[in-house]
Amino acid sequence: MVTSVITQYRILKFVAVNVGDTTKLRKPLRSLHLGSFENLCTVSMDTSVIDVIFMMVKRSISSVPIVTSQSNAINVRAKGVVADLVQIFFSTYLRLLMSSL
């Protein structure tokens, strides 16, 4: 039986409430050597789902930021969302009868 789900939000809330020394949390991620800052993988709203899938598989990444033409981030898509789209697509087309092909 599932009694709880731990999310990123709940972990961050726990840290904010229970960690007294937040000095390192106030430093820029770059100075802590966390994250990627070069050769970033981004997509636009016009990028096809299949291109995003291939990009995520090729680069072994779990999410990709969606950016405007000025490189401003407007959203992030995680592999779970993309996998859901693929499942919906395939479940729709795999139900077709052979006679309809």
Domains of the chain (ranges plus CATH)?
8-96 (3.10.580.10)
Q: What is the mean pLDDT of residues 80-89?
A: 76
pTM for this prediction: 0.55
Question: What is the structure's pLDDT at 98?
Answer: 63
Q: Mapping DSSP to helix (H, G, I), strand (E, B) and coil, where does residue 53 land?
A: helix
| Strand positions, DSSP E, 1-101 | 63-67, 73-78
Looking at residue 1, its pLDDT comes to 66
pLDDT for 70: 92
* Contact of 61 with 41, CB cutoff 8 Å: yes
Mean pLDDT of 32-54: 83
